[in-house]
Amino acid sequence: MRLSLLIPLVAAALAAQEPAAEISPVSERKLSYSIDTGNRFLTGVGGDFNTYRSVVNLGEGPKLFGFEAALEDPGSAWINRLIVSASSWGGEPYNTLRATAEKDRVWRLTADYRNVAYFNFLPSFANPTFEAGGGFNQRSFDIERRNANVELELLPGARISPYLIFARDSGNGSGITPFVANGNEYPIAALMRDETNHYRGGVRLELPRTHVTLEQGGSTFKDDQRNSTSQLNLGNRRAPIFGRQLLLNSAEQAYGVRGRNLYTKGILTSAPASWLHFYGQFLYSRPTSDVRFSENADGLFFLGATRFFNGLGALLSSEAKQPRTAASAGVEFKPHRRFRVFESWSTDRLHNAGSALLAERLLFSNGPAELRDLFEPTRLVMNLNRQQADLFFDLTSKLTLRGGHRFVWGDAIAPASFLASGPGQGEIRRHVGLAAVNYRPSTAVAANVEYEGSPGDKAYFRTSLQNYHQLRARLRWQLMSSLRLGATYLFLDNRNPAQGIDYEFQTRSAGITLEWRPGDAKYFSILGDYTRSTWRSDIDFLTPQNLRPARSFYRDNGHTASALTQFRIPCSAQFQPLIEAGGSLFISSGSRPTDYWQPIGRAILPVSKGVSLYGEWRWYGMNQAFFMVEGFRTHQFVSGLRISR
């Protein structure tokens, strides 16, 4: 009775309301933040420290592992969202910082910064005396690459939305690089510095059934590498030539590379009808480089025959231009509810033309200087086209079949190779058959098998895709609400039977992943994956010194696994310590057998609401059977504090 009275009352109240309005986001000022900070301790690195730095490179000391602050609806008319996040600061090799600020539908600003340390000093790499038990990497780097990207979008989501983007990428650091002089090469110190600035601006126009983006951009580039030495250096060649030891007393090389690029880009997407979508893109760019290079050295250098010289001076001026036109178009056509067609086409055409003018001066201790001029023009041309058609048929609502054909064709002119009378000419021509099956018996299961294969025709390089078969299979299965399973299988077989090549390449990879979170991970959860991969490559090659044919073999049989288990100890409603254990391992055999282990254990102790202390142990260990000297191992301990609100 009371309910029957209530209905008209509620109805009257509802009817008296304003016309139906959309639910508004909860408009309350909300600040949330989290901080993850702590101190890392290393027990000392056993084995080779340079390899440790080349692979892991984590150091000791206080760190800000992570920080985030998000402010929603601060009450300002100019901004309604601000998010700042940062990770790995405090001497870490990889720092990131990201900020997003926006006023809904008025503006959006995104800034992203990364600083990635690149230390590479593996003793076995580019070390001609490694097998004799000595020497060092003569192509080593200790540099930092910094990337910054700032993007401002006005009126996002509106019909007309202009945007401006500035990006900067720079590298700065030092290293070792060889000074290559006639008959010998001498490792010398290098200072590296390069910088690229990109400027882009454009406008997005969203019409009722068509979208157009027009963008104009440009970039500037400079590279000012300096290599120098002022110490006696005997180089890699220790055997005398005609009784004389080649040597370098001092050397200086200076690169001055300046580049710029202007490009124009247009993007069109259109859906004139629900059964017809068009996509298209066009880009024209014209990058150029101008280079000034100078080189001075003194020592004893071999000129050929029985001649030696003592000093070298070189000046070079060069420039290169590379106009490029790229375009692509695609159409999605649905003539029937169960039948769809994808058709796409793309072309990429570039023409690189350059020339270098080198002036060299050779100084002799017992004669006049010799002057040489060398002018070298060069070019590289690439025309690459691709056309693909796919037909989709929904056999049932749960089963989709796909068949298609891809045709790749193009030609290239490459710089002349050694002893060739003219530039190299190559062609690519490949017909590829495509087939796939997609099966979704329920919302919890999705399986996909995809095949492509080509009988091969023409390819640019000896190891390019030629006569190949590729199979990919994937499975996603939500076995129950707490248990998810995924599996993949990849197979590629590629062959080039041409005489003198006889290339046989095969790779297989099978992976499985499992996530189990019983009771929504109230007490326990596990996430793990395992992948077995094999690579096998055989190809003929010619031994340069005698042109004898030989066979190159490469094998890699890898096992990779990673896991993370979590145990929550319910001491009380408030105090529930969390224990985490897991890590990753990689074990391989074959051409470069490697073991790489990274186990981890962590304990997280909640102190109060939103505050927890944690302690972490990690072990990094790498061992390579053929390169024992490059093994390393270290324990790392972290004690930290996490605060979140």
Partner 1 sequence: MIRALHLSGRAAASAAALLLFATLCLAQEMPPGYAGTESCALCHEDIANAFAKNRHAAVGKEKRRGWEARACESCHGPGLKHTETTSAEDIRNPAKLPPSQADSSCLSCHTMQPTQVGRVQGSHAQNQVACATCHSVHTPPQAAQNRAARLNAQCATCHISQRAAFNRPHGHRLNQNAIHCTDCHNPHGTQMTASLRLSTGGEPGCLNCHNDKRGPFVFEHAPVRLEGCNSCHEPHGSANPRMLTRPNMAQLCLECHSNIALPSGRTNTGALGGIPPAFHDQLNPRFRNCTLCHQRVHGSHINKALLR
Give least dist CB 572 to partner 1, A: 27
Please name the residue that has the structure tokens 């231009």. 321
Which C-beta is closer to partner 1: that of 88 or that of 309? 88
Which C-beta is closer to partner 1: that of 267 or that of 579? 267
Give least dist CB 570 to partner 1, A: 26
Which C-beta is closer to partner 1: that of 20 or that of 573? 20
453: its two tokens = 């294969």
Continuous segment of H or E residues that includes residue 351: strand 339-364
> What is the C-alpha separation between 405 and 210, in angstroms, rounded?
28
Give least dist CB 59 to partner 1, A: 13
Q: Is 145 exposed, middle or buried (0-12, 13-18, 19+ CB in 10 A)?
A: middle
Question: Is residue 206 within 8 Å of residue 159, measured between CB atoms?
Answer: yes
Which C-beta is closer to partner 1: that of 62 or that of 157? 157
**Displacement of CA 301 from its chain's centroid (Å):** 41
Question: Is residue 538 within 8 Å of residue 552, measured between CB atoms?
Answer: yes
Give least dist CB 364 to partner 1, A: 22
Terminal Cα-to-Cα distance of the chain (whole angstroms): 48
Number of H helices, E strands in the chain: 2, 30
Give least dist CB 171 to partner 1, A: 6
Q: What is the DSSP string of 40-63?
A: EEE---EE-HHHHHHHT----EEE
Give least dist CB 32 to partner 1, A: 7
Question: Is residue 515 within 8 Å of residue 526, measured between CB atoms?
Answer: yes
Which C-beta is closer to partner 1: that of 150 or that of 358? 358
* CB hemisphere CA count around 301 (13 angstroms): 24
Give least dist CB 367 to partner 1, A: 26
Q: Is 255 exposed, middle or buried (0-12, 13-18, 19+ CB in 10 A)?
A: buried
Which C-beta is closer to partner 1: that of 200 or that of 469? 200
527: its two tokens = 């996430």
* CB hemisphere CA count around 304 (13 angstroms): 1
Which C-beta is closer to partner 1: that of 300 or that of 320? 320
Which C-beta is closer to partner 1: that of 365 or that of 612? 612
> What is the C-alpha separation between 411 and 433, in angstroms, rounded?
21
> What is the C-alpha separation between 384 and 429, in angstroms, rounded?
10
Give least dist CB 366 to partner 1, A: 27
Which C-beta is closer to partner 1: that of 367 or that of 429? 429
Give least dist CB 552 to partner 1, A: 5
Continuous segment of H or E residues that includes residue 7: helix 2-15
